[in-house]
């Protein structure tokens, strides 16, 4: 195993990156204790505790600087703090959490994509109706008023759909990929 160099230290967790990309890609985190993984405000057992936002932030930070997928997440602990039974429970808890978050992010992504496609269709329909009314019927006050209202509505719906497709979906796609990768990542504990 290559010697790892620390990248950052925050809230008791220190990030490491391996230097050799030819070997299996590992993401390494240094923990002071198991509680660094979980929320400080949740005192339930490991299997039911909420994952800490600090821990997730560290994972996101580590992934931000890596292009390759991580095959393994290695969590380093001091030897006197390790307990193999707890580690198995924690690894399963993390896998379940990542799988649940992936399912939720995927669902949000699909809903937002479908909403954007619906808005795009409504915008195209509004612009098409406006063009039809402009072409066929020009002498009615009511039709003129309807055309005046439909044109900005059509443009608004089109631009809102493009905004969803361009920006909102991009953020949701990143979130989905993040959790998808960690769903497939092996979680291991080692002594520091």
- Whether residues 13 and 71 share a domain: the answer is yes
Q: How many structural domains are present in the chain?
A: 2
- Whether residues 115 and 75 share a domain: the answer is no
- Whether residues 92 and 108 share a domain: the answer is no
Q: Print the domain residue range for 134.
A: 103-176
Which token pair is 163? 């905004």
How many CB atoms within 10 Å of residue 24? 12
pTM for the complete prediction? 0.72
- Whether residues 83 and 21 share a domain: the answer is yes
Q: What is the mean pLDDT of residues 116-139?
A: 85
Q: Is residue 93 in some structural domain?
A: yes
Residue 2: band (very low, low, confident or very high) from pLDDT cuts 50, 70, 90: very low
How many CB atoms within 10 Å of residue 94? 21
* Tens digits of residue pLDDT in 16-75: 444 443 445 888 889 888 888 887 776 666 667 788 888 899 888 888 877 777 788 889
pLDDT, mean over the chain: 81
In eight-state DSSP terms, residue 167 is I
Q: Is residue 181 in some structural domain?
A: no
Q: What is the mean pLDDT of residues 136-151?
A: 77
* Cβ atoms 24, 33 nearer than 8 A: no
Q: What is the mean pLDDT of residues 138-152?
A: 79
- Whether residues 139 and 172 share a domain: the answer is yes
């Amino acid at each position: 195993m290559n010697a790892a160099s620390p990248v950052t230290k925050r809230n008791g967790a220190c990030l490491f990156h391996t230097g050799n990309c030819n070997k299996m890609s590992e993401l390494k985190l240094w923990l002071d204790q198991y509680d660094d993984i979980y929320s400080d405000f949740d005192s339930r057992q490991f299997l039911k505790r909420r994952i800490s936002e600090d821990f997730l932030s560290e994972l996101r930070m580590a992934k931000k600087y890596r292009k390759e997928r991580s095959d393994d997440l290695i969590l380093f602990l001091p030897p006197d703090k390790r307990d193999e039974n707890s580690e198995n429970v924690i690894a399963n808890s993390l896998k379940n959490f990542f799988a649940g978050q992936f399912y939720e992010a995927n669902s949000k992504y699909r809903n937002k994509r479908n909403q954007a496609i619906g808005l795009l269709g409504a915008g195209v329909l509004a612009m098409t109706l406006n063009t039809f009314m402009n072409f066929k019927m020009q002498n009615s006050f009511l039709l003129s008023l309807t055309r005046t209202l439909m044109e900005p509505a059509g443009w608004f719906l089109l631009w809102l759909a493009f905004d969803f497709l361009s920006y909102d979906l991009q953020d949701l796609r990143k979130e989905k990929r993040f959790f998808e990768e960690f769903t497939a990542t092996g979680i291991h504990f080692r002594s520091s």
